[in-house]
Amino acid sequence: MSHPVWLIAKQEFTLNRRNRWVISFAVVFSVLTILVSLLGMVTSGYSGFQDFVRTSASIINLDGFIVPLFALLLGVFSFLSHREHLELMVTQPISRAKIILGKYLGLLLTVIGATLLGFGLPGIVFSLAVGVEGAFQYFIVVLLALLLSVVFTGLAVLISLLSRRQQIALGVSVGLWIFFELLYGMLMLGTTLHFSHATLKVLLLAGLTGNPVDLTRVLSLLVIGGPHFFGPAGATLIKLTGSASVASLLGLAAILLWIVIPMLVSIRVFSRQNL
Amino acid sequence: MVRISRRGWLALALIALLFLIVPDRLKSAVRIVRAGDSIASALSQASPGDTLRLDEGEYFENLVIEVPIVLTGKGHPWIRGGYEGIVIHIKAPGTVIDGLRVSEAGTRLIDDMACILVEADSVTIQNNRIDESLHGIYVKAGSWITIHDNRIEGRLDLIEEDRGNGIHLWNSRHSRIERNEILNTRDGIYFSFADSTIIRQNHVHHVRYGLHYMYSNHNIFEDNLFDENVAGAALMYSQNIGFYRNVFARCRGFRAYGILYQSMDDTRAEGNLILDNSRGIFLNNSGGNILLHNDVVDNDVAVQMNAGSDANIFAGNNFINNLSELLLDISHTEIVWTDSSGGNYWSGYDGYDLDGDGIGDKPYTIQNVFQVLESNCPEVRFYLFSPAAEILEAAERALPILELGKSRDAAPRMRPLANHDVPWFRVRQDRSEMNPLVAGAFFIGSATPLFLLLGLSRNHSGKRK
């Protein structure tokens, strides 16, 4: 296939694959995943009672921390350290939208590849150790982690385009990471001190869509643990959306928006940018 | 020559008299009923104390037992009610039903339809298989009833509200219910106005409430296993109940509880295992209950207490790996977390023990800040496990001034208590014995990527040369 977008993507992927950080990330990630679940099983005595929910909750938390950071850093690095390459490409007779799509796709391939590698090894170990009964749940966790990595790759592209200089872009992405990981949740928990319960019901639920990290965590837990995992909050969720599957679909739609909108903005910014 | 006194003669005469009477009792006949014959006509000829022995086979009948007899047979003779009315209706005290299969009761709950309806005292129902039931065994105003070693299966084709209960006791005293298995009914064992009953070693699963108590006092239940029900036990409006060494496990759902206390006073729970439920122990308007030496493990919420639940005592329990330990709907609930021997073990406690007496030196604040927020607004639970929540909890530990929770265990244990009575053996699975294997696989698994990394970097440097 020689579509220009694909060619650029392939080139980008090859460049990234040579990057030692990518494989290191995958390795560190899989080791952490295995250790976290092992620790979880040891502390709970691995009695065989504990369903997959709690073990996967720690894995979800772990990938919620690492995947966005990795996607952001890799995106910013690869976009801005080959800046001349980008400029060279712009002189070619291809539209800027195609260039940006190609680079984005290449980055995605890298991030998804590394994430899959990071999850794949633990997956094999799990199935060897405890059988394949948690396979579906694990698949859901991996799928949502992949979506999360796609979201943050898109955000990394946008940040790189907007800030142009690598130092600024790095600062912004780390800031964004801290915001989504910590500050956003703190803000949401803070709202409980100021509003009535009727407002809070809607606010806390709608607030989830404002943060892809929270969104993927809740979606994973919803699919794995069922709505009753959230107790009365799960009942609110069902009351407001109709059913758990509708709620999951709405969540997925929100994640897709988080993927599509930054992409569209990036294309628009890059097309108008004076390099 | 042995001389026999007058008193001796009298005794001998009495014994002889006994021999004259007892054979008369023993003379009670054993009647055989062949497959295809009518049990009802055999019943009409039976005199008190007779044994009716059924041949193996099917009997399409609805029986009314008005003379005390023993109804039994080999290979579970099958009595089928044809989904009409009551299958066996016992009106004679002292009747024994042994080793039958009884099926197909009618479906009108309002008429108390059941596979076996008991309206007499001192009835024994044992070793039966009861299926396609509405109520399995319904005891209506009968006392001294013994129900043991039966298997009672409800009808899955009916919706929950239309099913009957496994064993239903109404207005009954001094009954014993032992070693039964009950599944797929509405409630497993239902009590109303049933006092002084002993319930032992039953297994109730896949029903609504494993045990449903209404207005029944002075009962004891021990060594039972309740799993995969909506609620393990729903105890309501009763006093002085003791339950010991039971398992309440895997009740999951919005309205799922391990044990639910509604307006229950002065009960005592010891050595029970409350495992993997949405809510472990739920108390509403219940006071003066004592819970000692239970293991409360792997529940989403360990203890939830609503208004009017005062002066309950929790001591010597192990609270292990529960997502939330305590939810209160009001902040001023008086709970006693320590008795003379000390407090509970909490897996969330991170205090220290400088004097080495096994009891933590600083009190354990049972509700952390997240749980307090959640008590105020349940939707906060969406942020459970979020980094923000973890940070908040860490901040609370570091800066105790933040402490919002008021419930404190003054003497938290440093190690789990050895609650020997807790029947873990009932839920242990073979998998737990795989532990070394699991650990080995994990070890190899986590080492592999390291080797991979080493190998990769070697290749890389090799290429450079």
> B379 — contact with chain A (CB < 8 Å)?
yes
What average pLDDT does range A90-104 have in this prediction? Answer: 86
B55 belongs to a structural domain: yes
The whole-angstrom distance between A60's CA and the closest CA on chain B is: 9
Q: Which residue has the tokens 């009106």?
A: B91
Read off the DSSP letter of residue B55.
Answer: P
User: What value does the CA radius of gyration of chain A take, rounded to a whole number of Å?
Assistant: 20
> B301 — contact with chain A (CB < 8 Å)?
yes
From the list A49, A228, A230, the residue facing B253 with the nearest CB is: A228
Q: Per-residue pLDDT for A44 more than 70? A: no
Interchain pair B382, A27: CB under 8 A: no
Report the C-alpha gap between A250 and A237 in whole angstroms. Answer: 11
Name the β-bridge partners of B262.
Answer: B236, B284
Q: What is the pLDDT of residue A46?
A: 45
ipTM of the complex: 0.82
Whether B117 and B225 map to the same domain: the answer is: no
Query: How many domains, in total, are found in chain B?
Result: 2
Could you tell me which residue, B85 or A236, shows the higher pLDDT? B85
Q: Which of A37, A62, A192 to mutate to test the interface with B (most CBs of B within 10 A)?
A: A192
Nearest CA in chain A to B320: A44
> B392 — contact with chain A (CB < 8 Å)?
yes
Residue type, B385: F
Name the β-bridge partners of B273.
Answer: B247, B295
How far apart, in Å, are the Cα atoms of B101 and each of B71, B128, B152, B202, B203? 11, 6, 10, 19, 19
Report phi then psi at B341, rounded to 5: -90, -10
Neighboring chain B residues of A41 at a CB cutoff of 8 Å: 438, 442
User: What domain range is B332 assigned to?
Assistant: 215-367+405-443
Report the C-alpha gap between A24 and A74 in whole angstroms. Answer: 12
Q: Which residue has the tokens 């952390």?
A: B368
Whether B228 and B338 map to the same domain: the answer is: yes
Q: Residue A14's CB: how many other CB atoms inside 10 A?
A: 12
Whether B179 and B268 map to the same domain: the answer is: no
Q: What is the pLDDT of residue B120?
A: 95
Nearest CA in chain B to A198: B377
Mind listing the pLDDT tens digit for each residue in B264-289? 999 999 999 999 898 999 999 998 99
How far apart, in Å, are the Cα atoms of B313 and each of A18, B267, B296, B366? 64, 10, 15, 15
Interchain pair A186, B388: CB under 8 A: yes
Neighboring chain B residues of A230 at a CB cutoff of 8 Å: 381-382, 384
Query: How many domains, in total, are found in chain A?
Result: 1
Report the C-alpha gap between A201 and A192 in whole angstroms. Answer: 10
- Extended beta strands in chain A, E state: none
Q: Per-residue pLDDT for A138 more than 50? A: yes
How far apart, in Å, are the Cα atoms of A172 and each of A59, A178, B161, B215? 26, 10, 59, 65
Whether B43 and B151 map to the same domain: the answer is: yes
Interchain pair A233, B441: CB under 8 A: no
> B382 — contact with chain A (CB < 8 Å)?
yes
Nearest-10 crossing angle of helices A197-208, A184-191:
160
Contact present, B315 and B342 (Cβ < 8 Å) = yes
The residue from B207, B227, B248 where one domain ends is: B207
Whether B192 and B252 map to the same domain: the answer is: no
Whether B415 and B269 map to the same domain: the answer is: yes
- Lowest-pLDDT range of A51-55, A212-216, A255-259: A51-55
B111 belongs to a structural domain: yes
Report the C-alpha gap between B317 and B453 in whole angstroms. Answer: 47
Q: What is the pLDDT of residue B460?
A: 47
Nearest-10 crossing angle of helices A96-130, A52-81:
150
How far apart, in Å, are the Cα atoms of B4 and each of B18, B189, B459? 20, 58, 111
- Lowest-pLDDT range of A48-52, A123-127, A183-187: A48-52
CATH of the domain at B154: 2.160.20.10
Q: What is the pLDDT of residue B455?
A: 55
Which of residues 109 through 148 in chain B touch A, CB cutoff 8 A? none
Mark the ranges of chain B whose per-residue pLDDT is less than 50.
430-434, 459-465
What average pLDDT does range A205-227 have in this prediction? Answer: 88
Q: Per-residue pLDDT for A203 more than 70? A: yes
How many residue pairs from chains A and B have C-beta atoms closer than 8 A? Answer: 160
Report the C-alpha gap between B447 and B186 in whole angstroms. Answer: 51
Whether B260 and B200 map to the same domain: the answer is: no
B327 belongs to a structural domain: yes
User: What domain range is A88 assigned to?
Assistant: 4-272
B397 belongs to a structural domain: no
Q: What is the pLDDT of residue B453?
A: 57
Q: What is the pLDDT of residue B348?
A: 82
Whether B193 and B222 map to the same domain: the answer is: no
Whether B83 and B190 map to the same domain: the answer is: yes
Whether B271 and B411 map to the same domain: the answer is: yes
Mind listing the pLDDT tens digit for each residue in A177-201? 999 998 998 898 888 888 888 888 8
Report the C-alpha gap between A232 and A241 in whole angstroms. Answer: 14
Q: What is the pLDDT of residue A47?
A: 46
Whether B109 and B158 map to the same domain: the answer is: yes
Q: Which residue has the tokens 């298997």?
A: B151
Report the C-alpha gap between B71 and A230 in whole angstroms. Answer: 52
Whether B308 and B343 map to the same domain: the answer is: yes
